[in-house]
Amino acid sequence: MLCSDKTGTLTLNKMEIQDQCFTFEKGHDLRSVLVLAALAAKWREPPRDALDTMVLGAADLDECDNYTQTEFVPFDPTTKRTAATLVDKRTNEKFSVTKGAPHVIIQLVYNQDEINDQVVEIIDSLAARGVRCLSVAKTDSQGRWHLCGILTFLDPPRPDTKETIRRSKQYGVDVKMITGDHVLIAKEMCRMLNLDPNILTADKLPKVDVNDLPDDLGEKYGEMMLGVGGFAQVFPEHKFMIVEALRQYGFKCAMTGDGVNDAPALKRADVGIAVQGATDAARAAADMVLTGPGLSVVVEAMLCPDRCSSACFLS
């Protein structure tokens, strides 16, 4: 069993900003929302990830220079957002901005009850078409968060992913997709890659302590996990639980990952695979480190187990 991240492994991880932008405050448009998104990043430093690459490549960075960033909180997979505090050099106004997953940002805004249904409808309609979203919010003079806009972007699958998955299955290794994205995004990606479109979301996964996993996890949940094409809206700790459940159910399990929080799951898997660009912690915990993008090199490893001991998950 091969459990793979979606973004950057199954997809190109080359975000393409779209012209469609949904705004929720007067005076905002695509241009101004992009500037706010850039303010929630280190706009004069090299981009930290694919999302920042997309935002900083589209935003007016000269406009950003009218602000001084006094505090910055980088992206964390457990919070799914970045945040920054800024001062407008022209007016001395102090405010905070944040950008991140729509379902996270909506919980911050002061008028969540008023706009929640509208936001959910927008996100669902876009996700069904494979369009991803990035919400951007800003505080007012009272410190209340206002949703300023929702940016839309695409992250298409790698051209070789569909064939790689087909070959993997041909050699007896099933593939499960794991993503923190919206369930409808996951379903559409599965459809494009000929994976089972049945998806388990984090709220359907068992509520267990990852530091004290029960011995009957596989017995209770293994069959349920086999019946889906992947998992959506998950956090890093869910990866460890998924690996453990599948191992208890009798599978040799490989897992891809790139972040510090992925290290426990990579270490627990029979074969931990650190993808290209992984952190030092992930690389140290992994059995295999990919030096190129995508999963095709993993399939090649299956073809030469005599030369690559990391292909042991085939047994």
To which CATH superfamily is domain 16-154 assigned?
Calcium-transporting ATPase, cytoplasmic domain N (3.40.1110.10)
The three-state (H, E, C) secondary structure of the chain, written as one string: CEEEECCCCCECCCCEEEEEEEECCCCCCHHHHHHHHHHCCCCCCCCCCHHHHHHHHHCCHHHHCCEEEEEEEEEECCCCEEEEEEEECCCCCEEEEEEECHHHHCCCECCHHHHHHHHHHHHHHHHCCCCEEEEEEEECCCCCEEEEEEEEEECCECCCHHHHHHHHHHCCCCEEEECCCCHHHHHHHHHHHCCCCCEEEHHHCCCCCCCCCCCCHHHHHHHHHHCCCEEECCCHHHHHHHHHHHHHCCCCCEEEECCHHHHHHHHHCCEEEECCCCCHHHHHHCCEECCCCCCHHHHHHHHCCCCCHHHHHHC
Is 160 designated active site? no
pLDDT band at 300 (very low <50, low <70, confident <90, very high): confident
Domain residue ranges in the chain: 2-13+157-314, 16-154
Given this model, what pLDDT does residue 295 score? Answer: 86
pLDDT band at 314 (very low <50, low <70, confident <90, very high): very low
For 109-113, what is the mean pLDDT? 97
pLDDT tens-digit profile of 63-104?
999 999 999 999 988 899 999 999 999 999 999 999 999 999
Given this model, what pLDDT does residue 311 score? Answer: 39
pLDDT tens-digit profile of 129-140?
999 999 999 999
pLDDT band at 304 (very low <50, low <70, confident <90, very high): low
| From 5, 52, 181, 262, active-site residue | 5
To which CATH superfamily is domain 2-13+157-314 assigned?
HAD superfamily/HAD-like (3.40.50.1000)
Computed over every residue of the chain, the mean pLDDT equals 91
